[in-house]
């Protein structure tokens, strides 16, 4: 089986994790602090707060910004549901916007028409490791005094005009799920240059607790979103390898591009000028005549693991029921949801594997059309 994704975990990570397990000090501690420091240094931000997942990072960001019931938050329709779910969890209303079908990112030209007096924030998602049009989004946010939360779950190391994704808005959020470039199993990170937001996020992740006059003081109704110390140990080892991992992923993506470029049935990933795409996922778009789900099933039968790109939220029962969205409301997102196909990409993938994926994909498409 050629797997969709495989994390790179070496002996150094195993050794450091074993040390933590042997120490008996397992909850958030010095290894988490070291991981936070290394992430902040890598991104050149002032503050990094490690948490239990990328979803937790998004949730804490909204809480830190004071987003609440009655507020509205704009986000792309084509994204993993966590992006919208956290908005609902704080009582706000997710306002969905269609995407640019070339980049799979939110279409900035459709944002302003969705802004109301209740709009308080926008969440651009750097989908699949490609930077969203962040300059346009920040200009709109500035015009209407909106907060910006970058969902950079897939984009640690991705760049827009030489600037790291996740560092350009008010807050950036990252994930360390095993499908990401580096992993801590589960885990996430909130980053910001605002001392006030960092302090609130740090307190909220740990039951709302802050240190006042040398004593614990519970300032908020917070959560237990802490990262374990063995995850932190794994994280600070992993981030040392990040740039090398990204370059290998980009090289594999280039190989795929060369193999697939002449197939008229497939749109290969687009890398916008000025961006550095890290290819957390290598997602192609199949012609509408092709039944994508059949392709996934047939490739699995032939030993190739693939999956959909991600979800269009307006098609999901929760969003239809609670916000009156209807199927097909967002044309580009609907197309991407139905026709996008994520191919295997990880640094253990060999060129011969990529060629096999291409050959079997073409064969499967030809048989199915």
Q: Are 341 and 284 in contact (CB under 8 A)?
A: yes
pLDDT reported for residue 327: 87
pLDDT reported for residue 368: 62
Q: Which residues are catalytic?
A: 180
Q: Are 106 and 75 in contact (CB under 8 A)?
A: yes
User: CB 227: neighbour CB atoms within 10 A?
Assistant: 30
Q: Where are the domains of the chain?
A: 11-240, 242-368
Q: Which fold has domain 11-240?
A: 3.40.640
C-alpha neighbours within 13 Å on the C-beta side of residue 311: 13
Residue entry with tokens 């967002």 = 330
Where does 242-368 sit in CATH, by number?
Answer: 3.90.1150.10
pLDDT reported for residue 213: 84
Say how far apart CA 21 and CA 233 lie, in whole Å: 10
Sign of CA dihedral 323, 188, 181, 230: negative
Per-residue pLDDT tens digits of the chain, which is 369 residues long: 999 999 999 999 999 999 999 999 999 999 999 999 999 999 999 999 999 999 999 999 999 999 999 999 999 999 999 999 999 999 999 999 999 999 999 999 999 999 999 999 999 999 999 999 999 999 999 999 999 999 999 999 999 999 999 999 999 999 999 999 999 999 999 999 999 999 999 999 999 999 888 899 999 999 999 999 999 999 999 999 999 999 999 999 999 999 999 999 999 999 999 999 999 999 999 999 999 999 999 999 999 999 999 999 999 999 999 999 998 899 999 999 999 999 999 999 999 999 999 999 999 998 765
H-helix segments, the chain: 11-23, 30-43, 54-64, 82-89, 134-144, 195-204, 229-238, 242-260, 292-301, 317-323, 331-339, 351-368
């Amino acid at each position: 089986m050629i797997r969709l994704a495989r994390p790179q975990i070496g002996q150094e990570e195993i050794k450091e994790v074993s040390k933590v397990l042997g120490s008996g000090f397992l909850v958030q501690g010095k290894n988490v602090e070291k991981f936070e420091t290394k992430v902040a240094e890598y991104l050149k931000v002032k503050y990094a707060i490690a948490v239990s997942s990328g979803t937790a990072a998004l949730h804490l960001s909204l809480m830190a910004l004071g987003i609440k019931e009655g507020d509205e938050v704009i986000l792309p329709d084509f994204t993993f549901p966590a992006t919208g779910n956290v908005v609902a969890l704080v009582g706000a209303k997710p306002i969905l916007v269609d995407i640019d079908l070339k980049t799979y990112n939110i279409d900035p030209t459709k944002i302003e028409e969705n802004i109301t007096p209740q709009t308080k924030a926008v969440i651009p998602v750097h989908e699949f490791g490609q930077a969203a049009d962040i300059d346009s989004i920040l200009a709109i946010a500035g015009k209407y005094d909106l907060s910006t939360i970058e969902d950079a779950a897939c984009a640690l190391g991705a760049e827009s005009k030489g600037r790291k994704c996740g560092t350009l808005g008010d807050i950036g959020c990252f994930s360390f799920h095993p499908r990401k470039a580096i992993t801590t199993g589960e885990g996430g990170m909130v980053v910001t240059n605002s001392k006030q937001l960092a302090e609130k996020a740090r307190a909220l992740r740990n039951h709302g607790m802050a240190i006042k006059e040398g004593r614990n003081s519970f300032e908020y109704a917070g959560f237990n979103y802490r990262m374990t110390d063995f995850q932190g140990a794994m994280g600070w080892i992993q981030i040392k390898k990040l740039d090398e991992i990204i370059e290998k992923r980009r090289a594999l993506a280039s190989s795929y591009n060369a193999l697939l470029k002449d197939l008229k049935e497939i749109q290969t990933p687009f890398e916008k000028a000025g961006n550095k795409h890290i290819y957390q996922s290598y997602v192609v778009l199949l012609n509408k005549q092709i039944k994508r789900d059949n392709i996934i099933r047939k490739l699995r039968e032939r030993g190739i693991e693939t999956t959909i790109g991600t979800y269009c939220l307006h098609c999901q029962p929760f969003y239809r029921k609670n916000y009156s969205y209807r199927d097909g409301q967002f044309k580009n997102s609907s197309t991407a949801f139905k026709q996008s196909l994520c191919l295997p990409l990880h640094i253990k993938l060999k060129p011969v594997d990529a060629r096999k994926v291409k050959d079997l994909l073409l064969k499967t498409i030809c048989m199915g059309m």
